[in-house]
Amino acid sequence: MVNKSKIKAIAAFSGGLDSILAIKIVLEQDIDIIALNFKTSFCRWDKSNNDCTGSSIKRMADHLGVEFKAVYLGDDYLEMVRDPKYGYGKNINPCIDCRIFKFKVVKKIMDEIGASFVITGEVLGQRPMSQHRRSLTLIEKESGLEGLILRPLSAKLFSLTIPEEKGWVNRDNLLDISGRTRKPQIELAKQYGIRDYPTPAGGCLLTDKYFSKRLRDLFKFGNTYSKDLELLKVGRHFRISNQFKLIVGRDEQENQRILDLSEKGDLFFEPLELSGPSALGKGIYDENIKEVSSKIIARYTSLNEKVKVITKIISEDKELIFDVFALEDSKIKEILI
Ligand code: SF4
Q: Residue 95 maps to which CATH number?
A: 3.40.50.620
Q: Which residues of the chain have pLDDT under 50?
A: 50, 201
| Residue 164: predicted pLDDT | 98
- What angle is formed at CA 24 by the lines to CA 205 and CA 42, rounded to 5 degrees? 10
Ligand 1 pocket, residue 314 CB under 6 Å: no
Contact 118/10 with Cβ under 8 angstroms?
Answer: yes
Name which residue sits closest to atom 4 of ligand 1, judged by CA. Answer: 95
Q: What is the pLDDT of residue 242?
A: 96
**Domain of residue 74, residue span:** 4-192
Residues facing 85 on adjacent strands: none
- Domain shared by 160 and 268, yes or no: no
- Burial grade of 87 (CB within 10 A; 0-12, 13-18, 19 or more): exposed
The preferred substitution site among 207, 208, 215 for testing ligand 1, maximizing ligand atoms within 8 Å of CB, is 207
Q: Are residues 244 and 184 in the same domain?
A: no
Select from 135, 168, 192 the last residue of a domain.
192
User: Which pLDDT score, from 0 to 100, does residue 201 have?
Assistant: 46
In 3-state terms, the chain is what percent helix, strand and coil (to 5)? 40, 20, 40
Q: Say if residue 175 is in the same domain as residue 98.
A: yes
- Structural domain contains residue 9: yes
228 within domain boundaries: no
The pTM score is 0.88
Residue 219 is assigned to a structural domain of this protein: no
- Same domain assignment for residues 180 and 258: no
Look at residue 130 in the predicted model and tell me its pLDDT.
Answer: 65
Q: 32 and 75 in contact (C-beta within 8 Å)?
A: no
Q: Is residue 10 domain-shared with residue 125, that is, in the same domain?
A: yes
**Is there a single domain that holds both residue 75 and residue 162?**
yes
130 lines ligand 1 (CB under 6 A): yes
Q: Is the minimum distance from the CB of 148 to ligand 1 under 6 angstroms?
A: no
Ligand 1 in reach of 207 Cβ (< 6 A) = yes
Please tell me the distance between residue 110's alpha carbon and the centre of ligand 1 in angstroms: 21
- Residue 226's pLDDT is 79
In a domain, 213, yes or no: no
Ligand 1 atom closest to the CA of 38, numbered from 1: 3
Q: Is residue 112 part of a domain?
A: yes
The DSSP 8-state label assigned to residue 173 in this structure reads G
User: Domain boundary residue among 159, 192, 225?
Assistant: 192
- With respect to residue 201, please indicate whether it lies within any of the assigned structural domains: no
Q: From the alpha carbon of 205, which atom of ligand 1 is closest?
A: 2
Angle between helices 54-64 and 17-27 (to 10 degrees): 20
| Ligand 1 contact via 189 beta carbon (within 6 Å) | no
Is the CB of 80 inside a 6 Å radius of any atom of ligand 1?
no
Query: What is the pLDDT, as a whole number, of residue 187?
Result: 96
Shared-domain flag, residues 180 and 239? no
Q: Of 138, 165, 192, which residue constitutes the final position of a domain? A: 192
Same domain as 297, residue 154: no
pLDDT confidence of residue 2: 57
Say which residues have a Cβ less than 8 Å from residue 320's Cβ, sequence separation at least 6: 290, 310, 311, 312
Which atom of ligand 1 is found nearest the CA of 99? Answer: 5
Per-residue pLDDT tens for 78-137?
999 999 999 999 999 999 999 999 999 999 999 999 999 999 999 998 876 667 889 999
Decide: 95 in ligand 1 pocket, CB within 6 A.
yes
Whole-number mean pLDDT of the chain?
Answer: 91
Question: 308 - beta bridge partners?
Answer: 323
- If one counts the domains in the chain, the total is 2
Residue 96 CB–ligand 1 contact under 6 Å: no
Whether residue 172 is found in the same domain as residue 287: no
Strands (E), 146-235: 149-150
